[in-house]
Amino acid sequence: MQFHVVVNPAGASGWTGKIWKKLEPVFQASHQQYTVHYSSLTHGIEAIVKELTASEEQVNLIIVGGDGTMNAAVNGIRDLSLVHLGYIPAGSGNDLARGLKLGKDREAIARTILNGRVVRSVDVGEKICHTQSERIQAVSHEKDHSLIREDYVRRFNVSSGMGFDAEICEQADESLHAKKVFNLLLVGKLIYGFECIKLIFNYKPVHYRISYDGKPEVSVDRVCFHCACCGRTKAADSSSARMRMAVMESLQR
């Protein structure tokens, strides 16, 4: 069986790359065929996955990284029905891994994936932003006119939010120095609490107009955030309009 391993070596302030170096002997000992693809600033996770899934053949992917890496991966997959996806959590927060109860033994997860058995599917959320014309900074309310898009579609594994929670995530990604310090102290997920405390004193509620599932538009004043979540399910309905992905047995552990 051929595996494509996609690694974000800069993830979690470089911690992900170190985790992969410890994991690779497990892959070597398995005698399975595998190819490692490292992401970079000029060639990211999404671009790599798009290339690997460009054909109409079955592909076995293993993603090594955090929630952001997995988010980029599912957005890069061209046809979810043709991909078996294994995930080895190696990020700062690892919310997806906790939700799927993967456990903390990465070597055990790797061995399970390398057995090559697909045991279940999970839902992948999908959002469509219609006629998005600009981004508004949550604190300053300054507008970024560079984001002009029509029917902008994105998939998500855990949650997709607008407002306060989304701003926390963005600020955490941009706070490279603070994030590195938290990761070195092995408490990387606390960066989100740190950014939350900073933001809570400056955040300004906004006016929202929201429509979902074909229902009439709802107008709400002074909204802090709006979030859609995609949690665990026992089984995925094949007739569902939601996107699905096949997941390697590691997601059961």
> What is the reported pTM?
0.69
pLDDT score at 197: 83
pLDDT in tens, 69-100: 999 999 999 999 999 999 999 877 788 888 88
pLDDT in tens, 8-45: 888 776 788 899 999 999 999 998 999 999 999 899 99
Consecutive 10-residue averages of pLDDT for the chain (253 residues): 91 83 94 94 94 93 92 94 92 82 90 79 78 52 57 82 77 68 63 79 78 77 80 46 35 32
Which domains are seen in the chain, by residue range? Answer: 2-124+236-252 (3.40.50.10330), 126-229 (no CATH)
pLDDT score at 60: 93
Distance (Å, rounded) from C-alpha 113 to C-alpha 62?
8
Distance (Å, rounded) from C-alpha 72 to C-alpha 155?
9
Q: Amino acid identity, residue 235?
A: A
Angle between helix axes 176-184 and 190-200 (nearest 10 degrees) is 140
Q: What are phi and psi of 24, to 5 degrees?
A: -60, -35
pLDDT score at 89: 92
64, 20 Cβ separation under 8 angstroms: yes
Helix (H) or strand (E) holding 74, with range, is: helix 67-76
Distance (Å, rounded) from C-alpha 171 to C-alpha 108?
33
